[in-house]
Amino acid sequence: MIEAEITGGASLLLRFGKVPDALRSRLRQSVQEACLKLTGHVKQDKLSGQVLKVQTGRLRRSINQRIEDTTDGINGFVGTNVQYARGHEYGFTGTIGVRETLRTSKNGKEFTVRAHTENVRLPERSFLRSALADQRDQIREQIAQDVKAALVDVIKG
């Protein structure tokens, strides 16, 4: 998570009474742009060979972002709802259940693989946290520049 703190914010709030809508709108736009860039970095770099190699494309297609506008601030989230993503991101050691499935052998004969359990050991292959670490400094810098520009606009206006 990236957090930003505006020094002297209390006196600024007293001066203007509240954070102007223009500042909030500019900050929301900046967070949204950062989320879009981060989403692209995850899909293009992390899930296309740098960390994980695409098998079906399901994980890459599932990467999404959302913006939450709250009274405390504007939060941006980049993530996925694909169940196996957590195992790749943090690693996983344990037993999983495998459903019965129909397979085809090399010589073309079909056979059934019975349902069974399988011991799995996935090493940690972070694609979300590492992408954020890659872009953390640029995100902070861009948001700070946008906030400064918005404040200058408010002071001038």
Q: Is 40 helix (H, G, I), strand (E, B) or coil?
A: helix
28 located within any domain: yes
64 located within any domain: yes
53 located within any domain: yes
Residue 15 has pLDDT above 60, yes or no: no
21 located within any domain: yes
Total domains in the fold of the chain: 1
Q: Is 2 helix (H, G, I), strand (E, B) or coil?
A: coil
36 located within any domain: yes
Q: What is the pLDDT of residue 129?
A: 95
Q: For residue 29, what are the domain limits?
A: 9-82+125-156
Beta bridge mates, 138: none
61 located within any domain: yes
What's the pLDDT band for 72 if we cut at 50, 70, 90? Answer: confident
Residue 130 has pLDDT above 60, yes or no: yes
Q: What is the pLDDT of residue 157?
A: 59
Closest CA to 42 of 33, 52, 32: 52
Contact, 69 vs 33, CB < 8 A? no
24 located within any domain: yes
Residue 53 has pLDDT above 90, yes or no: no
Query: Do β-strands 64-69 and 74-79 pair in parallel, antiparallel, or remain unpaired?
Result: antiparallel
Residue 153 has pLDDT above 80, yes or no: no
Q: What is the pLDDT of residue 134?
A: 95
115 located within any domain: no
**Which uninterrupted H or E stretch holds 89?**
helix 85-90
